[in-house]
Amino acid sequence: MTTPEITVTRTDSRKVKPLDETLLFGRTFTDHMFIADYVKGEGWQNHRIVPYAPISLDPAAIVFHYGQTVFEGMKAYRAEDESIRLFRPQENFKRLNRSLDRLCMPEVNEERALSGLLELLKVEEEWVPRLKGTSLYIRPFVIATEAFLGVAPAATYQFYIILSPVGSYYEEGIHPVKILVENEFVRAVKGGTGGAKTAGNYASALKAQETASAKGYSQVMWLDGVEHKYVEEVGSMNIFFKIDGEIITPAINGSILEGITRKSIIELLAHWGTPVTERQISMEEVAESFAAGKLEEVFGTGTAAVISPVGELNWNGTIMEVNGGKTGPLSEKLYDTLTRIQMGVVEDPLGWVTNLSAPLEKIG
């Protein structure tokens, strides 16, 4: 397919790159960014790579007032042979389009978005860090730019891709986190926007997160918005339980964000001959299985941490220490396998990795 030309304007003042050892999460940004403009009736246009810089918007832009904005999150990894790898980027652009549709925003052409990203990565190649555990975080997002104080979909939008070199999520391999089950606030309800990666979901989650942090918990576990009974997800991760040998994750129901890591774990486990049960699971069931000594492992899944084992769950003051507060064997095995596939250390049995040094026609 023919892709419209992407113009590239290079910066004349490259930034000093931070040392890989000092990288945090989402604090430094690279030298360039990708932008495309949308005008209703004309479509997406003016695809360009320009120096990274603050942007100028009308104070009445719809994004500031009514939250018409969606985003994505993925990573580029540098393998030992210096090649740069992406993990299932097509899935991210598919999900971007599902989020855009939910917010009445114009969809992007998935192939064109991917080639924009690949062009940007070519320009920013040196920004992909090398230290074990580090990566280049990729943040595509779309905002409504029309200046109009009316509650209606905007007529103009901008699509951006920015890049941020990030440090290892865990300093020394994976380690278990403490989670507070949230009983008062809810993240999303069926029919709402929980299934879309849109700003409002995260703004409304801050209050519960703040309270949990003050109590020494790293994340909150969200329950369903109607009965406060069924497990939904954790912070910005999907959640899995291993109970008496069965691996269970809440079924996608319209309010849970459908993670690409979640999907990959389900597919990997199926490939190993261990099916995952996708169904409703209540906190009562989790607590009963814990009391019966059958709660073997709990772990979260997401791009940032890949696998995050849960060492403690606090539900209304009932403390459940999972697997003695230690990382379980399944969590460990999944983490090792997925990160090794991403880094090209082991074979990629399900064809998930896009290698940027491969001939372009093979990409995608």
Q: Which residue has the tokens 């865990």?
A: 170
- 238 touches ligand PLP (CB under 6 A): yes
Which residue from 133, 302, 309, 328 is in contact with ligand PLP, where contact means CB under 6 A?
302
- 257 touches ligand PLP (CB under 6 A): yes
Mark residues 215-234: x for contact with ligand PLP by CB under 6 A, - for none.
------------------x-
What is the 3 state secondary structure string of 154-195?
Answer: CCEEEEEEEEEEECCCCCCCCCCEEEEECCCCCCCCCCCCCC
- 261 touches ligand PLP (CB under 6 A): yes
Which residue from 68, 303, 308, 331 is in contact with ligand PLP, where contact means CB under 6 A?
303
Q: Is 297:323 a contact under the CB 8 Å cutoff?
A: yes
- 236 touches ligand PLP (CB under 6 A): yes
The stretch near ligand PLP (CB under 6 A) out of 175-183, 213-221, 299-307, 334-342 is 299-307
Nearer to ligand PLP by C-beta: 25 or 147? 25
The stretch near ligand PLP (CB under 6 A) out of 31-39, 97-105, 142-150, 254-262 is 254-262
Which residue from 166, 186, 237, 322 is in contact with ligand PLP, where contact means CB under 6 A?
237
Please, is 67 exposed, middle or buried when counting C-beta atoms within 10 Å of its C-beta (0-12, 13-18, 19+)? Answer: middle
Structure tokens at 58: 């009308």
**CA–CA dist 249, 307 (Å, integer):** 14
DSSP 8-state class, residue 354: E
∠ CA(38), CA(42), CA(47), 5° rounding? 45
Least spacing, CB of residue 260 vs ligand PLP, in Å: 3
- 140 touches ligand PLP (CB under 6 A): no
Nearer to ligand PLP by C-beta: 237 or 286? 237
Structure tokens at 102: 């939910």
Nearer to ligand PLP by C-beta: 49 or 247? 247
Which residues lie closer than 8 Å to 13 by C-beta, 6 or more apart?
none
Interface contacts to ligand PLP, rule CB under 6 A: 73, 197, 233, 236-238, 257, 259-262, 301-303
